[in-house]
Amino acid sequence: MTTTHCPYCALQCAMRLEPGPDGRLAARPAPFPTNRGGLCRKGWTSAEVLTVPDRLTRPLMRKDRDSDLVETDWDTALDHVAERLLALAAESGPDTVSVFGSGGLTNEKSYTLGKFARLALGTSQIDYNGRFCMSSAAAGGMRAFGLDRGMPFPLSDVGGAEAVLLAGANPAETMPPMMGHLSAPALLVVDPRRSATAQVALDNGGLHLAPRPGTDLALALGLLHAVRVGGWVDEEFVASRTTGFEAAWEHAAAWWPEHTEQVTGVPAAHIRAAADLLGAAARNRSAYVLTGRGTEQHAKGTDTVSAWINLSLALGLPGRTGSGYGCITGQGNGQGGREHGQKADQLPGYRRIDDPAARAHVAGVWGVDPDTLPGPGRSAFELLDALGTADGPRAMLLFGSNPAVSAPDSGRVRSRLAALDLLVTADFVLSETAAMSDVVLPVAQWAEESGTMTNLEGRVLRRNRAAEPPPGVRTDLQVLSDLAVRLGQPPERFATDPDTVLAELGRASAGGAADYSGVTPARLDSGEALYWPVRADAAPTPRLFLDSFAHPDGRARFLAVSHRPPAEATDADYPLVATTGRLMGHYQSGAQTRRVPELGRAEPEAYVEVHPDTAARAGLAAGDWARVTSRRGRTRARVRLSSTARLDTVFLPFHFAGDQAANNLTNPALDPTSRMPEFKVSAVRLEPEP
């Protein structure tokens, strides 16, 4: 029996993997502060992914683009990849090669992937799928607090609150064990849908605020207005611990509740009631504002996050025990994955790649000249959209991601992937992206290797190895090392042992915002709660900002932000708004969970949730196949009626592929700061599938 952590979301629920009579592992819950001995449906079935029938155990390679993938040996596959990478770089320069990572990789793999890109390839062209997840929250947190740790306090703190406002998250389906922490007498849920979480709030006397998709920022401004008019602003906190309130208020002053109702559709009485509930709880230092993807995945996502932070600062929540602002991270290592170098603009320790001091420090750890390190590259969608173009990369190495399904405007992304001279994917199943690749490298899964993850609270924890990978399968660290040596790097530069990599990561991150220099195997195994920063000479930091914020003056910043409409509007041809989200039984692009029989039977196909009247106007009934079309593409989905749905909005889960992929519809318009695409608002039409 091995105690470890779930391979899915950022709760990182503890579990025990126990061998059954047939030798296969089975997952059982284990005590841990986030899940408190519980698991969701995905966690209970997680071990089944280890033995799916189509598990890859040998490299696959094509002779040319018109031939099929066929099995080959490791030396042939890696030699071919290295030769092609060297030839392309010699012909067109190092930036002709690109790397795409994942928020599901361990800290050690995230760190090594960034190091591999900058040293072995010399390319600036690296980013990762976490850009589609937490980037707006990260940017908003950096602007306001000077530091981005999504939840700067333990999740268990939230359980004692009198009021919690949850904007754009549905943990009742996406993170069920989290609901045990959301027991506040006043749970306020902001979501265009009557989600399972919104229903919990209503059932327990809370509020459901249902804004029109794309108007969350206006609602946050309206709530700030109601908080000030209601006398709930913590004047002492604002004066002593923040700057910029009056400039932010100038933008909120026009958003009295009746005006906010006209834009958002949320009744003015509900806005005032929410402000009073939050204000009364904040006065008792017992309130939290938490945001998620629904309020962040917009072309104005960073400003929207800033508006929610402004609300929390006005109430005096951040930097105090018993209250706060936090962001609910989605992917398993969504926090750690953005700290150690697989983002286009970043070096380990949350250092900026264009900071000379940061470059000098990391280059010293790596034993190279700082001037040899490349500068910032393209963000995730911009990188994918540049593939195969005249000035874009001609090759991509992809680890732990499936952008053929998960990226916005996915038809366009698939065409860019197909235009590459070389696409190499490391995966354990033939995902939709792997199936398009020239070379597929079979790698170990979560239970077949050890490594550290950083959960939604900023707590660094260890996933323990519970089984040997199948014969012929290598770890990602081994693959990167093998390729690096073939590309001319000294063998000792790219370690394959996770603990060795962790020690180097500690040195590279030392002194940075996300300092892991004190994270050691001994401390991890002792059960000590290691919330970063974890410096070698100091205790961990479970609660940030209690004394000061991370800006030089120690104060948090209000940001003056204004509402603006979504990037595209509805019209006669596209009269409805489509928004996307997750289901309890599936995860991300579904490449793992769609292969688990129990999960596949529960949700076997895509559906479109629509109000009965809206469906009837389109000539559709429950159970019909519908065609949903946007200005970019179309998808087909089974009609599921909901009397609580907005008449102007349809909802689609994004876990399905091919002609059922929700991201065939989504808009790649980007936030100017975070470069987050606008996943949550697409103008569409609904009609019967011919």
Residue 530 is predicted with a pLDDT of 97
**Given this model, what pLDDT does residue 605 score?**
96
677-678/667-670 β-pairing: antiparallel
Domain presence at residue 571: no
Q: Is the pLDDT of residue 117 over 90?
A: yes
| DSSP state, residue 490 | -
Query: pLDDT at position 174, please?
Result: 93
Across the beta sheet with 207-209, the strand order is 207-209, 186-190, 163-167, 287-291, 324-327
Tell me, what's the pLDDT at 573?
A: 97
Note if the bond before 370 is cis, omega within 30 degrees.
no
pLDDT at 536 exceeding the cut of 90: no
Distance separating alpha carbons of residues 319 and 182, to the nearest angstrom:
20
Within a domain: residue 544? Answer: no
Q: What is the CATH number of the domain that holds 422?
A: 3.40.50.740
**Of 100, 128, 135, whose CA–CA distance to 299 is shortest?**
135
364 shares a domain with 231: no
Query: Do 656 and 647 contact (CB within 8 A), yes or no?
Result: no
Of 468, 501, 534, the residue at which a domain comes to its end is: 501
Is residue 54 within 8 A of residue 429, CB to CB? The reply is yes
The domain boundary, picked from 328, 363, 385, lies at 328
Helices (H), 538-684: 597-602, 612-617
Query: What confidence score (pLDDT) does residue 20 get?
Result: 85
Same domain for 391 and 363: yes
Q: Quick: pLDDT tens for 37-94.
A: 999 999 999 999 999 999 999 999 998 888 999 999 999 999 999 999 999 999 999 9
How many residues can be counted in the chain? 690
The verdict on 323 and 360 lying in the same domain is no
Total number of domains constituting the chain: 4
pLDDT tens for 256-315 read 999 999 999 999 999 999 999 999 999 999 999 999 999 999 999 999 999 999 999 999
Q: Is the domain of 207 the same as that of 253?
A: yes
Q: What mean pLDDT do residues 655-680 have? A: 96
- Asked if residue 285 and residue 154 are part of one domain, the reply reads yes
**Judgement on whether residues 79 and 105 belong to the same structural domain of the protein:** yes
| Amino acid at site 288 | Y
Burial of 645 (0-12, 13-18, 19+ CB in 10 A): buried
In a domain, 568, yes or no: no
pLDDT tens for 374-413 read: 999 999 999 999 999 999 999 999 999 999 999 999 999 9
Per-residue pLDDT reduced to its tens digit, 309-353? 999 999 999 999 999 999 998 888 989 899 999 999 999 999 999
Statement to judge: residues 404 and 487 lie in one domain? yes
CATH of the domain at 608: 2.40.40.20
Question: Do 384 and 434 fall within a single domain?
Answer: yes
Range of the domain at 178: 135-328
Residue 526: inside a domain, yes or no? no
640, pLDDT greater than 90: yes
Residue 148, in any domain of the structure = yes
What's the sign of the alpha-carbon dihedral 376, 379, 382, 384? positive
Q: Are residues 394 and 270 in the same domain?
A: no
In a domain? residue 515: no
Q: Would the pLDDT of 481 be above 90?
A: yes
| Separation between Cα atoms, residue 323 and residue 284, nearest integer Å | 9
Both 84 and 159 in one domain: the answer is no
pLDDT at 134: 85
Same domain, 309 and 339: no
Q: Supply 403's token pair.
A: 């952008």
> Could you give the count of Cα atoms lying within 13 Å of 542 in the half-sphere of its Cβ?
9
Which amino acid type is present at position 145? Answer: F
389 and 315 both lie in a single domain = no
Residue 147 to residue 298: CA distance in whole angstroms = 22
- Sign of the torsion angle spanned by Cα atoms 383, 388, 390, 395: positive
Please say whether the beta carbons of 387 and 377 come within 8 A.
Answer: no
Written as one string, the DSSP assignment of 339-362 is TSS-STTEETTTEETT-HHHHHHH
pLDDT at position 332: 86
Q: Which helix (H) or strand (E) holds 505?
A: helix 498-509
Contact 404, 433 (CB under 8 A): yes
At 655, list the tokens: 């876990």
Answer whether residue 368 shows pLDDT above 90.
yes
pLDDT in tens, 137-168: 999 999 999 999 999 999 999 999 999 999 99
Q: For position 83, what pLDDT does the model report?
A: 98
Q: Are the C-beta atoms of residues 507 and 517 closer than 8 Å to each other?
A: yes
Of 288, 309, 328, the one marking the end of a domain is 328
21 — pLDDT class (breaks 50, 70, 90): confident
CATH value at residue 260: 3.40.228.10
Percentage of the chain modeled with pLDDT above 90:
94
Torsion of CA 177, 179, 182, 186, to 10 degrees: 180
Q: What is the mean pLDDT of the chain?
A: 96
Q: Return the pLDDT at 378.
A: 97
> Is pLDDT of 590 > 90?
no
Predicted local distance difference test score (pLDDT) of residue 457: 95
Contacts of 615 (CB under 8 A, 6+ apart): 621, 622, 639, 641, 686
Whether 307 contacts 217, CB under 8 Å? yes
pLDDT in tens, 172-202: 999 999 999 999 999 999 999 999 999 999 9
Q: Please, which residues have CB within 8 angstroms of residue 9's CB and are 6 or more apart in sequence?
A: 174, 175, 330, 331, 332, 587
| pLDDT greater than 90 at residue 537 | no
Report the alpha-carbon distance of residue 312 to residue 297 in Å, rounded.
20
- The mean pLDDT of 543-548, rounded to a whole number, is 96
Q: What's the half-sphere exposure (Cβ side, CA atoms, 13 Å) at 541?
A: 21
Q: Is residue 540 part of a domain?
A: no
CATH number of the domain enclosing 11 = 2.20.25.90
Contact status, residue 648 vs residue 596, Cβ threshold 8 Å: no
Domain assignment present for 472: yes
Which pLDDT band holds residue 435 (cuts at 50, 70, 90)?
Answer: very high
- Per-residue pLDDT, 133: 86
Average pLDDT value for residue range 564-588: 95
